[in-house]
Amino acid sequence: MIRAGLDVGSGSCKMVVARMNADGTAVEAELHAEYVECLVAHDYKSRDDGTLSMEIVAKLLGILAGFRAKANSIGGDGVQMKGVATQIFRIAKNGQDVLQRIAHESNIHISVIPQSQEGELGFLTGAALAPETARTDLVVWDSGGASFQLSATAGSGKEPLVFQGALGSSIVTADMVNLVQGRQFRDNPSPNPVSRDQAQRLAQHLQPLVGAPPEWLTRQLQNEGVVVVGIGEQTSVFYIGQLATGKAAYTSAEVRAAMDSLYGLSDEQLARFPQPTMVLPKLVLLHTVMEVLGMRTVLCRLSTGICQGVLLHSQFWQP
């Protein structure tokens, strides 16, 4: 059978089309994967009424219509398509209305899922990307445009536990502009050039918002054999960390050293990175969470959002 799993996130829309085994419990072959930038959280943070604009809704509809056409071209008109929507659709006043319109116009059912389930899907995705690591040794970190989740079985081998926060790339970029630089994000979407002092002030603002880690997470991160896998596409904080440090696995000290070389640079000077306007805020978020949680190393693994988890989670494919 062929399925298309979608992740409609706060910063991009993602889709994986895959051939599944007979009972739908494993991916036999990934037939197509893509992501398209759609800065829904940027749009939300640029408005004062708590809604998503008609312009961003139109962009979403266009992207998902394209996804539907591509999936149909691979699996036929009857291909199963299911997806999840994350943080911004949980908090935007018109989030549910937007998803109902998508269902009506594109015939794609997108479910708004709680952040705890987002973490579970992230764990399924990370486990599929790191088969060499025992699940009991694994921590999966998923960080998007408006939220982050760290998930682990905490040595039990059972369903993952999830630590979550309401910080993401668009949120911290808006905070850099609005709170640290004293400008209006809707008029100034780029904080560049960012100074060392501004980065430090953003980090100080973020530290209490990350929150104290639960005991199970602290214990897991202190285990000698733990592997922390950061998942996401080429715009994720983890891949930006990889580009900045030159390493797929890096420490918080290496992230801090990489930031030192990027202060004072313009959008044009940061153009080697995806989404240059968010490079420093992303690295500040990455470094701050690592420091607050006492994380030794993060390993970046590229993924198409949490689409793998959507494909593998039986809840979304019940008849």
Contacts of residue 85, Cβ cutoff 8 Å, sequence gap at least 6: 8, 9, 95, 99, 110, 111, 112, 113
> Distance between terminal CA atoms of the chain?
14
Helix, strand, coil shares of the chain, percent, nearest 5, are 45, 20, 35
Q: What is the Rg, in whole angstroms, of the alpha carbon atoms belonging to the chain?
A: 19
Mean confidence (pLDDT) of the chain: 95
User: Does the pLDDT of residue 264 top 80, yes or no?
Assistant: yes
pLDDT digits (tens, 9 = 90+) for 10-64: 999 999 999 999 998 899 999 999 999 999 999 999 999 999 999 999 999 999 9
**Single-letter residue type at 250:** Y
Higher pLDDT, 232 or 155: 232
pLDDT digits (tens, 9 = 90+) for 187-214: 999 999 999 999 999 999 999 999 999 9
pTM, entire model: 0.94
